[in-house]
Amino acid sequence: MQGDFALHEKMLRQLDVETLLVRNKEELNACHGLILPGGESTTLTNLLKKHGLWDELSTFAETRPIFGTCAGLIILAKRVVRNNLQPMGLIDISVERNAYGRQVDSFIDEIKLQLDKQEQCEGVFIRAPKIVTIGKSVTPLAWHKKDIVMAESGNILVATFHPELTDDARVHKYFLRKVVALAKS
């Protein structure tokens, strides 16, 4: 509906994954996993509600994984600080929107990624949110300096950066492992 879904779709297709762009409840229910892309969180929230997907996402997340990047992370969070946006509360994190500044303050820098092993990778931060706090059920997976920039809890995976804007497929592969594991159970 909104955001950088096309580059996520491109990445998934490069990994030989069949994709479906979700615009309604029926399309959502046909998926084994879902990526909520970056974009503008207020606009995306309004569109999800307008198309009857807001409540459906909570039900979906009970049995299937959701990966939220940037604005998608904001929507999935439990709290948004210094803002009146009401997120879904699917992962116990507090976030701050546009925490690094405006569009002109966007940047690319190395991040420390801890999936199967600790590695470095490129992080693209565009008007990025910042994870301010995490709950006990949340596991940090990546850091930029001292900031947590990727985390998971249960079926929910979130990142403040845009892995779809690089050629590095490690984060998407990690999400796909979650999708496959739950689809088999």
Closest of 167, 68, 66, 157 to residue 108, by C-alpha: 167
Q: What is the mean pLDDT of residues 58-66?
A: 95
148 residue type, one letter: I
Residue 51 falls in the annotated catalytic set? no
Whether the pLDDT of residue 101 is over 80: the answer is no
Distance from C-alpha of 157 to C-alpha of 14, rounded to nearest angstrom: 21
- From the list 8, 96, 164, 172, the catalytic residue is 164
Instruction: Give residue-wise pLDDT tens across range 11-27.
Output: 999 999 999 999 999 99
Q: Which helix (H) or strand (E) holds 65?
A: none
Closest of 152, 142, 137 to residue 182, by C-alpha: 152
Q: Is 168 helix (H, G, I), strand (E, B) or coil?
A: coil
Q: What is the mean pLDDT of residues 106-126?
A: 94
Instruction: Give residue-wise pLDDT tens across range 135-179.
Output: 999 999 999 999 999 999 999 999 999 999 999 999 999 999 999
pLDDT for residue 185: 73
Distance from C-alpha of 8 to C-alpha of 158, rounded to nearest angstrom: 14
Q: Cβ distance 139 to 152 under 8 Å?
A: yes
Q: Using a cut of 0.85, tell me whether the model's pTM lies above it.
A: yes
Structure-token pair, residue 83: 């803002």
- From the list 8, 70, 96, 172, the catalytic residue is 70
Q: What is the CATH number of domain 5-184?
A: 3.40.50.880
Q: Cβ distance 74 to 87 under 8 Å?
A: yes
Helix axes 54-63, 41-50, angle to 10 degrees: 90
- From the list 8, 144, 152, 162, the catalytic residue is 162
Q: How confident is the model at residue 98 (pLDDT cuts 50, 70, 90)?
A: confident
Residue 162 falls in the annotated catalytic set? yes
| Residue 30 φ/ψ, nearest 5 degrees | -85, -5
**What mean pLDDT, rounded, does the chain reach?**
93
The angle subtended at Cα 38 by Cα 85 and Cα 116, nearest 5°, is 115
